[in-house]
């Protein structure tokens, strides 16, 4: 498989804090990889860099052969990277259908039409029948599904999920995990997933990139990550991933 994303030497500083420090990794087209790391490790900042929300101070981010540094977020979405957020951010006052249609505005109208496209994605994430509900009134688990449908509406090649299991109970996590696996299998999308809920996470991903204090400390298959000395060390001292809040 060829690389869809190549991150080389990317650094982001906030004043004296180096939130992402000389990080390099690549993603093969079609893989489902995970980002692991304690709170404050720089995971969300990395997503903000990949999506153009914030500019990198150093390094290069190449997506499908094109440099992303300096490219605006809306152009990056159009190029094929979309994301969900750590805290659900539905468009308040809009229905489920409208939320998904807004996600689709990043691209030209598909042959089936914007409405049909949105309905199909809503069905794909298991929200059929809830099209007219105000998004913010839905149960949190459904909001997580909506976020995924809205991200898919932009027809991404690379889907970035930021703690999709946060705030969910264990049965909801198992269902959402199955949904992500299904979407990956059906679409062949490249998926990158940030999570702390290690049990489902390790079953879902084929590879884990571990960050600590902004640095990449390991990049390996899940079986070896769980015993990797630097990963184990990063989680000692209260940072127990299974119980971490957000």
Nearer to Mg ion, 106 or 231 (CB): 231
Nearer to Mg ion, 12 or 43 (CB): 43
Give the residues lining the site for Mg ion (CB under 5 A).
43-44, 86
41 part of the interface to ligand ADP, by CB under 6 A: yes
User: Of the listed pieces 39-47, 62-70, 118-126, 148-156, which binds ligand ADP according to CB under 6 A?
Assistant: 39-47
39 part of the interface to ligand ADP, by CB under 6 A: yes
User: Which DSSP symbol is given to 211?
Assistant: E
> In 64-222, where do the E strands start and end?
66-67, 81-83, 158-162, 190-194, 207-212, 215-220
User: Which DSSP symbol is given to 183?
Assistant: H
241 part of the interface to ligand ADP, by CB under 6 A: no
Residue 197: left (phi > 0), alpha (psi -120 to 50), or beta?
A: beta
Binding partner selected for residue 41 from ligand ADP, Mg ion, none, CB under the kind-specific 5 to 8 Å limit:
ligand ADP
43 part of the interface to ligand ADP, by CB under 6 A: yes
Q: Which of residues 10-29 bind ligand ADP (CB under 6 A)?
A: 14, 17, 19
Q: How far is the CB of 76 from ligand ADP (least distance, A)?
A: 18
Binding partner selected for residue 19 from Mg ion, ligand ADP, none, CB under the kind-specific 5 to 8 Å limit:
ligand ADP
Q: How far is the CB of 77 from ligand ADP (least distance, A)?
A: 20
Q: How far is the CB of 237 from ligand ADP (least distance, A)?
A: 16
Cα distance from N-terminal residue to C-terminal residue, the chain: 34
Question: Is residue 62 within 8 Å of residue 68, measured between CB atoms?
Answer: yes
| Angstrom distance (rounded) from CA 132 to CA 241 | 37
| Angstrom distance (rounded) from CA 37 to CA 216 | 9
Question: Is residue 146 within 8 Å of residue 94, measured between CB atoms?
Answer: no
User: Of the listed pieces 34-42, 100-108, 143-151, 185-193, which binds ligand ADP according to CB under 6 A?
Assistant: 34-42
| Angstrom distance (rounded) from CA 140 to CA 88 | 8
Q: 20: which residues sit within 8 A by CB, 6+ positions away?
A: 10, 11, 12, 42, 45, 46, 49, 56, 211, 214
Q: How many residues bind ligand ADP (CB under 6 A)?
A: 11
164 part of the interface to ligand ADP, by CB under 6 A: no
Q: How far is the CB of 222 from ligand ADP (least distance, A)?
A: 19
């Amino acid at each position: 498989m060829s690389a869809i994303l190549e991150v080389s030497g990317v650094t982001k500083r906030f004043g004296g804090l180096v939130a992402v420090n000389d990080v390099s990794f690549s993603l093969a087209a079609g893989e489902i990889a995970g980002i692991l790391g304690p709170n404050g490790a720089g995971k969300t900042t990395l997503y903000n860099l990949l999506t153009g929300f914030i500019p990198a101070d150093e390094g290069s981010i190449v997506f499908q052969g094109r440099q992303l540094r300096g490219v605006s977020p809306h152009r990056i979405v159009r190029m094929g990277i979309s994301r969900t957020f750590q805290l659900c951010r539905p468009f308040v006052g809009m229905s489920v259908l409208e939320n998904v249609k807004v996600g689709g505005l990043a691209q030209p109208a598909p042959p089936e039409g914007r409405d049909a496209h949105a309905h199909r994605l809503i069905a794909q994430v298991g929200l059929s029948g809830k099209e007219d509900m105000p998004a913010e009134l839905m149960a949190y688990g459904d909001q997580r599904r909506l976020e995924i449908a809205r991200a898919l509406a932009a027809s991404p090649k690379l889907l970035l999920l930021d703690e999709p299991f946060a705030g969910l109970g264990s049965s909801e996590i198992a269902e959402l995990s199955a949904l992500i696996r299904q979407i990956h299998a059906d679409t062949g999308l490249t998926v990158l997933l940030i999570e702390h809920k290690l049990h489902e996470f390790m079953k879902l991903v084929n590879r884990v990139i571990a960050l600590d204090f902004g640095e990449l400390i390991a990049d390996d298959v899940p079986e070896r990550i769980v015993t990797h000395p630097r990963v184990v060390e990063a989680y000692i001292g209260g940072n127990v991933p299974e119980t971490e809040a957000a």
